Each structure stands twice: as structure tokens, then as C-alpha cells.
Amino acid sequence: MENKKIDKFVEMINKCNNIVFFGGAGVSTESGIPDFRSKDGLYNQHDVQFDQYTPEYLLSHSCLYQDSKVFYEFYRQKLNTNDIEPNKAHYFLTKLEKSGKLKAIITQNIDGLHQKAGSQNVYEIHGTTYRNYCDKCHKQYPQDYIFKSKEAIPHCKCGGMIRPDVTLYEEGLPENAVYHSIMALRKADMLIIGGTSLTVYPAASYIREFHGKYLVVINRDPLRIQLRKDDLEINDSIGEVFGELEKRMNI
């Protein structure tokens, strides 16, 4: 890790009072949650039970309603993160929020770990496995309801199907989360992009709404985005980078 870059990062944070963090799967992989597209990611985990389907189909609106048993079996096996704990990156962002500098977290992750770490202002633009609802009467159900239900396809008393509040393929992103994300980006004087390759659209396009002074990118692999002269890119573990920041900032 380059000390000069960490020093510059600290200096940038100290000069800002409206920071937004935009994060992806790389924030959660350090908690042991596989991402989707890497060599060892969820989409490349071969399972005889599901090999006849594409990963995109298994997490699609079509699968949920046309092959419901398949959808729920895959969902229960692969997306249960209830026993996963936040890591250094999540906890640092919570502290940065409590300091008053971080105004919003925009996450593409659906695991709820930012809230579990104590963050308050989190916009989940792909939804979350921590919320479930009836698709007919919209009654809310506890976060672990689907995972613990003995029904192959969980149903509400009204007859509707209980589904996760996750944005599936073929579904639009949640309008409220998208609106507040864009508003936060437009107001920010600093944007930190972490743990994302910025390849998932339309979510990745929202960073174009940022026109503030400082941009910092933290990702293990370089991103193919045009950086400005004073922008900062750090190709390292986001948990380790934030761990160093915490030591130097004493927050």
C-alpha cells in the first residue's frame, strides 16, 4: 500500500464535509460473501442442481414466477447472509458517518451489512435480502422468513407469494433509492468508489451525477474510467485501505 496515496486520501477527507460512498461486491467479499462475476463468484459455482439454468435466469423475475421452486431453492442456498458479519470497510464507513462527514452510502450489495455495522443513511439500489413482502397485499415479513420457511414457495395468508425485496433481472431499480442516490451524488464534494468494477448498469451510470471536487477509487483492479488530474486511485483491499485511514484519522 502506498503511504503517499493514503496521506493524500486523509488530506482530502479532512477538507470535505459532504462525502458519498458508492460501493459494490468488493466491499462484502472481505466478509466472505462471494461476488457474482469473478472466477470464484456465484455465477461460476457449478452445481448440478442448477447447471441447466443461467445465473441470470435463476435471479430473474421470470424464474421467480415461472419456476418458483427453483428460484427459492437457489435463493436459500446461495443468498443467505444472516450469519455474515461486517468487515473493517463497513465499520470505518459507520464511523465516518458518525463523524458527520459521510452523508450517504450507495450500495449495489443486497446483504444489509452496512446497516448491520451501524450505518444509517444507506441507499440500496439493488434492494436487500433483509426485507421480504407479500406480492399481493404487501405485508412485510422478517428478514429470515424465507430462509426459515418450511414451504417450498412461501405464501401469505392472503394467498400472495412472499418474495425478497431484491431487484431481480427484468425488474426496474427501486425509484426511491435511485432518486435519493442521485440527489446525494449531486450535492457531494467528495465521492469514494469502492469494491466495484462499475460494469453493472444502470447503477454504475449514476456516478456521472457527481461533479464535486474529490474522487477516490479503491479497487483491487484498475478501473477503466477517466480520472481527473487530482483524482486518486488505490488498487488494494478496501478493508486494508480503510484500516489505515482509521489509524491516521483517529475516528
Quickly list DSSP for the chain. --HHHHHHHHHHHHT-S-EEEEE-HHHHHTTT---SSSTTSGGG---TTTTTS-HHHHTBHHHHHHSHHHHHHHHHHH---TT----HHHHHHHHHHHTT-EEEEEE---S-HHHHTT---EEETTEEEEEEEETTT--EE-TTHHHH-SSSS-B-TTSPBEEEEE--BTSPPPHHHHHHHHHHHHH-SEEEEES--S-STTGGGGGGG--SSEEEEE-SS---S---TT-EEE-S-HHHHHHHHHHHHT-
Angle at 82 between CA 81 and CA 85, to 5 degrees: 80
- Give me the catalytic one of 46, 61, 114, 126: 126
* Residue 125 amino acid letter: I
Residue 177 cell numbers, joined? 433509492
Can 126 be counted among the known catalytic residues?
A: yes
Please list the active-site residues: 126
